Amino acid sequence: MDTTTTVLPNNGGRRRLVLLPLPLQGHLNPMLQLANILQSKGFSITILHTRFTSPNPTNYPHFNFLPIPDVGLENHSLSDIGNLIRLLHHLNTNFLRPIRDSLARLMLEDVGVSCLITDAQWFATQTVADSLKLPRIVHRTSNISSFLSFAAFPLLRDMGYFRPFSDEELKSEALVPGLEPLKIKDLPKFLTSDSEEACELIELMVQGTKRAQAVIWNTFKELEELELTTLSRGFPNPHFLIGPFHKYFPESSSSLLAQDQTSISWLDKHPHNSVLYVSFGSLAMIEESQFLEMAWGLANSKQPFLWVIRPGSIQGFEWLEPLPDGFLERIAEGRGYIVKWAPQQEVLAHPAIGGFLTHNGWNSTLESISEGIPMICSPCFGDQPTNARYVSDVWKIGLELENGLERLGIESSIKRVMVDKEGIEMRKRVLNLKEKANLCLKKGGSSYTSLEDLVDYILSL
């Protein structure tokens, strides 16, 4: 599909912002939501994007889409985390020239460009922006807490945390000095697998964020007030906390996969708070043995479940081949429903949902908080362990699977979150956060005010 559209000759006198998303589902979603928010504030929006995992422009007729010529991504797939690191490296080296050329052309047009807003992981674009004398604002799709752990990398290196850890250390309850409440096992996983390249990329992302004019966060002040104070000490650039982005407008689909709407009609048949939603986002992969443990844990829990299993997400299989014969009908006695991809925000907002077994990607975590759904956490990599620690130990709105994906732990956690008194308390706390999330978007609320400030700030550039 050729996604090229020409820039509208008449943009109604609106100032133009160019947004550059990272081509990954968990990054595209919030960036396109941010684009909608800024468009509603009177800016005209141009989305500069790779052809690799391109957003679908027909869902956003009010934006201009400008594809960057792809350089060497034709055969790229995201089947392991190593590929993700290589992708980030590739984007930040080989795409800089085409990005610069595209921006330079846009700046020559009558409407010009007021500001470039890039995903934080496009860290090398700061140099491009500087060379064009174009202000760059960073959009950080993750939260402040996990960013602080990334920002602590030099310190962690000095303290000897850049090495593979023993099983004993990974089980330790001791907190990492300066990064409380994080434990060793919560540190970003690539530290423990000794990946210098990943650490280097993270450090460049942190430096690129520091050099940007300002930072936009998909979080809200009431959730991360202490962390914001710590952040502001090390990163004096202005920070705009204007989340949760997805609550501003009804969902407009930036989904790269077709969302199975039968999820909703299936949920309609279930009582309030009775169904566990299970999804590990767009990138995480699990092994066959972990998948089977999940299946048995879900079946044994006797709780209804809606389970998203992405094709290709079980290592070595196309889809459901490892599932025992007759699993849904006989073993789980018709209580389960499996889809390839769900309309997740709609699912989490459905009254039948009572809990979320999640990998704790930041979008999923925030979407769960925004709907008042307690979580069972099984983080995989990157910022997910930090998010899970905050869910279980700081906000106390969920619990973590202590022994990973293992059937007994899954079964008992489902009971604790969906049935026991402990779960009722978690639900109360997460409903309280949901209320705060709603209030912060209303006139005078923290995100509402921060968005007004952001608009004024961009106009002042």
Alpha-carbon distance of 434 to 373, in angstroms, equals 9
Is residue 149 part of the contact set for ligand UDP (CB under 6 A)? no
Query: Using CB under 6 A, which residues numbered 358 to 387 contact ligand UDP?
Result: 361-364, 367
- In the complex with ligand UDP, which residue's Cβ is closer, 23 or 409? 23
- In the complex with ligand UDP, which residue's Cβ is closer, 44 or 313? 313
- CB 13, min distance to ligand UDP, A: 33
Structure tokens at 326: 């007759």
Contact indicator for 49, 67 with CB cutoff of 8 Å: yes
Is residue 279 part of the contact set for ligand UDP (CB under 6 A)? yes
How many residues touch ligand UDP (CB under 6 A)? 20
Q: What angle do CA 411, 413, 414 make, to 5 degrees?
A: 65
- In the complex with ligand UDP, which residue's Cβ is closer, 78 or 399? 78
- Within 10 Å of residue 161's Cβ, how many Cβ atoms? 19
- CB 185, min distance to ligand UDP, A: 19
| Window contacting ligand UDP (CB under 6 A); options: 15-23, 279-287, 329-337, 411-419 | 279-287
- End-to-end CA, the chain: 36
- In the complex with ligand UDP, which residue's Cβ is closer, 86 or 210? 86
- CB 345, min distance to ligand UDP, A: 5
CA distances from 23 to 54, 378, 440 (A): 7, 24, 29
Is residue 46 part of the contact set for ligand UDP (CB under 6 A)? no
- In the complex with ligand UDP, which residue's Cβ is closer, 349 or 455? 349
- CB 21, min distance to ligand UDP, A: 12
- CB 370, min distance to ligand UDP, A: 11
Q: What angle do CA 64, 70, 72 make, to 5 degrees?
A: 165
Alpha-carbon distance of 409 to 425, in angstroms, equals 20
- CB 444, min distance to ligand UDP, A: 28
Residue from 44, 64, 143, 282 binding ligand UDP (CB under 6 A): 282
Contact indicator for 66, 7 with CB cutoff of 8 Å: yes
Query: Using CB under 6 A, which residues numbered 219 to 258 contact ligand UDP?
Result: 255
Residues 17-36: x where in contact with ligand UDP by CB under 6 A, - otherwise, as a string: --------xx--x-------
- In the complex with ligand UDP, which residue's Cβ is closer, 235 or 362? 362
Q: Helix crossing, 196-211 with 125-132: angle to 10°? A: 30
Is residue 322 part of the contact set for ligand UDP (CB under 6 A)? no
Residue from 201, 283, 353, 410 binding ligand UDP (CB under 6 A): 283
Per CB under 6 A, residues contacting ligand UDP are 25-26, 29, 255, 259, 279, 281-284, 308, 341-342, 344-345, 361-364, 367
